[in-house]
Structure 1
Amino acid sequence: MIKKTRFLSIVSGLCLAMLFGIKSSHAHDLKEVQEAGVIRHIGIPYANFVSYINRDGLYSARGLDIELIQGFAEYIGVEYEFVPSTWNTAFGQLTGKEAIFKDNKIQYGDTVPITGDVISNGATILPWREELVDFSDDYFPSAVWLISRSDSKLKPITPSGSIDKDILQVKQLLNGQDVLAMEQTCLDPNLYDLYDTGANVILPVKARKLNEMVPAILNEDAENTLLDVPDTLIALEKWPGEIKVIGPVSEEQFMAAGFRKASPNLRKAFNDYLKEIRRDGTYNQLVEKYYPSVFYFYSDYFESHENNNI
């Protein structure tokens, strides 16, 4: 979508070890970003929002959020630069202060250089994240579901018409069940009071990506896992007949781009851009490209946004 795309090569190594020529500058809002001539997109590999492609040992990134921010770069008249990250480092790269969510609270770390202007990788809007960044208007629906292997004794719940009752139904099934979860993400068990259900919550011993949760239950690390909507849609297509959706453990959630609290004009410009691409159809084309089945599950969400932008 953007003609002048300055894409940093991603050198393979430990966690794609950040061996990048990322420029550390002090751009804070729209004016400074435009003066710098580049917007730096902090992205974490996740589902079809941000994924890495290895070509002869060199990595490039693709996905819904890659194209979304490339289009935003064009909209505000700057070049695009991708800044790879992890949830351990992303907030520090954006705000200059390291922060993670552990043991159900935000834990702050060192002061670090600011190396990006926006976090965008299908990031779920969560209360603790809202303390660290200002989110844009949401652009993708989500929720967290309980997913089980097809041979599990658990059976999908019968929807009641009430999301609260459905969540309660699912939680009542969890006593004594092994359930994979992951802190610092939307799959954090603390967010859904999972420890109160009697479930045996299993956290990864070493770093694991969200798209590795289903392979883990298929490998019999556990019978069940928490999983959000985008990864579930991909998993159902990738492993048909091998997994089943038991039901929700969260209310409806939404995804958005995260901006520094000191960047209100940059955030406003992104919201204006988002309205424009919703109005001209570009947004739905992007979603169709990366998540064609989401329209079946969340048609109301996309239709409501489309009607609001006519």
Structure 2
Amino acid sequence: MPARHSPIRRLLLAASLLCLFGSALADDLRDIRERGVLRHLGVPYANFVTGSGDGLDVEIVQLFARHLGVRYEFVPSTWDTVVGDLTGKDTRTKPTLPDPGRRPIRGDMIANGMTILPPRLKLVDFSDPTFPSAVWLLARSDTATQPIKPSGDKERDIRATKAALRQGSTFVIYNSCLDPALYDLENKGLPLKRFTGSNNVNDLVPAMLKRESDMTLLDVPDVMIALERWPGKIKVIGPISEEQRMAAAFRKDSPELRDAFNAFLAGIKKDGTYMKLVKKYYRVAPRYLPEFFRDIPGGKAGG
């Protein structure tokens, strides 16, 4: 008797799993419009998602939801789980397997100042760039390490900054844009220090100021905020990377949603809305990273 009903039991099991992971099925633009809500996955980070209900990416996605004619919903996540919350695959536990553990999908897009990195391109599709970035080396102002003298040659400046890493301990965060493997810093005998307090990039500078490390890798958006928050207490040593790009992330089976966002993003860049938001949250960004903003209306430094 049990054997005779096993196909039915398997069918019922499959149906129950379908219900369990129903939200994990692909939701593209049409599905979102029918559902009437756009779920924005975000991690509190710099001024992209402040954790207080606003931020550059929060306001951009709110405007995008209004553009689509749907309700906006913010879904808080963490750096460890946000990609899995989007894709329905638990990449924390089995990141190298072709089909990591399944999990419910909790959102339709990620937007929280996520840097476009090669490992992430295997898991998600990114929109057109939403913000520029780069990784710099930051130090306490009382350290002996001195800022490099800019040469006008970015590769030479990067080499000089990397040489300064030998002068003190430096915080890094693996599996992030601050992963030393991305910048050929591993196995070089450098005193790199894994940041273990949390995976929250916002905690790096406070920990450095408490003398838990002499220096830290940090991306430029956070550097801009840190320089304003702790004036006179920190200094920029130099660049560790070439200029990078941040973007919104989408599931690979949501091409129409990504295309709609790209068209929307181009529109708000053209009509000036984008730069108004940039200057609200990153007032000095055009001065620090002028190449990205130069061709955007209102994006010239001082403009």
Q: TM-score by structure 2 length?
A: 0.87
**Any gaps of 5 or more consecutive residues in structure 1?**
1-22, 54-60
Shift of residue 27, structure 1, vs aligned partner = 4.9
The residue correspondences of 1:40-119 to structure 2 (distance < 5 A) are: 40-53=39-52, 61-100=53-92, 106=96, 109-119=100-110
The residue correspondences of 1:206-225 to structure 2 (distance < 5 A) are: 206-225=197-216
Distance 1:133 1:25, change over 3 A: closer
Distance 1:25 1:145 in 2: 37
Residue 51 of structure 1 aligns to a residue in which SS?
A: coil
Residue 162 of structure 1 pairs with residue 153 of structure 2: yes
Letter in 2 for 1:156: P
1:57 aligns to what? none
Distance 1:292 1:101 in 2: 39
Higher helix residue share? 2
The residue correspondences of 1:1-310 to structure 2 (distance < 5 A) are: 24=23, 26-53=25-52, 61-100=53-92, 106=96, 109-175=100-166, 177-306=168-297
Distance 1:250 1:83, change over 3 A: same
Letter in 2 for 1:35: E
Shift of residue 73, structure 1, vs aligned partner = 0.3
CA shift digits 1:176-203 (9 cap, x unpaired): 5200011121111111122244221111
**Any gaps of 5 or more consecutive residues in structure 2?**
1-21
Distance 1:185 1:106, change over 3 A: farther
| Kept in 1: contact 2:79–2:199 (CA 8 A) | no
Residue 202 of structure 2 aligns to a residue in which SS?
A: helix
Distance 2:235 2:85 in 1: 37
Distance 1:236 1:269 in 2: 36
Distance 1:94 1:261 in 2: 10
Letter in 1 for 2:64: F
| Kept in 2: contact 1:100–1:106 (CA 8 A) | no
Distance 1:85 1:194, change over 3 A: same
| Kept in 1: contact 2:132–2:245 (CA 8 A) | yes
Letter in 2 for 1:114: I
CA shift digits 1:71-104 (9 cap, x unpaired): 00011111111111112111111111111499xx
CA shift digits 1:138-176 (9 cap, x unpaired): 011100000001111111111121211111111112225
Distance 1:234 1:126 in 2: 22
Distance 1:284 1:106 in 2: 39
Distance 1:303 1:160 in 2: 22
Residue 250 of structure 1 aligns to a residue in which SS?
A: coil
Distance 2:126 2:65 in 1: 18
What is the number of equivalent residue pairs in this alignment?
A: 277
Distance 1:285 1:180 in 2: 33
Distance 1:183 1:106 in 2: 15
1:3 aligns to what? none
Distance 1:114 1:124, change over 3 A: same
Q: Let me know the Cα RMSD of the aligned residues.
A: 2.0
Shift of residue 279, structure 1, vs aligned partner = 0.9
Letter in 2 for 1:30: L
1:12 aligns to what? none
- Is 166-175 or 63-72 further displaced after alignment? 166-175
Shift of residue 25, structure 1, vs aligned partner = 6.1
Percent of paired sites with the same residue = 51
The structure number with the bigger radius of gyration is 2
CA shift digits 1:95-145 (9 cap, x unpaired): 11111499xx75674200111100000000001101111100001110000
Letter in 1 for 2:62: Q
Residue 247 of structure 1 aligns to a residue in which SS?
A: strand
